[in-house]
Amino acid sequence: MSKKKKRAINANGATNSVRSFLGGAFLLNQKTVRQLPFLLFIAILGLVYIANSYYSEKNIRRTDKMQRELKELRYEYISTKSQLMQLQRQSQIAKMLAKKGINESLVPPTKIFINND
């Protein structure tokens, strides 16, 4: 056979294959019918794979959002704790009480001893 005839046969074979695929004639082939359960299994696995990737992406986005929120809450906790520490200082308490008219005693406390003789 010459090279031109081989090319013509290969081109016709490829054309026929494409026509049978697009026309649906390949579905009538006995080999294809036997392989159909396997093809359906592969298609279902592909769908499960796609669904799993979407689910994992959703979880990653949710985890990132939670981490950002946790970071913001940690900053808020630190600043609130700092303010509370500032307000608990003795000098700050004395200033707040002075506004209400209560002053610190300048006389140190003394111990009272009771004799039970």
pTM score? 0.52
CB atoms within 10 A of CB 74: 10
Per-residue pLDDT of the chain (117 residues; tens, 9 = 90+): 555 555 555 557 778 778 877 777 767 777 777 888 898 999 999 999 999 999 999 999 999 999 999 999 999 999 999 999 998 998 888 888 889 988 888 888 889 888 886
**Per-residue confidence (pLDDT) for residue 7, from 0 to 100:** 53
The predicted structure's pLDDT at residue 70: 98
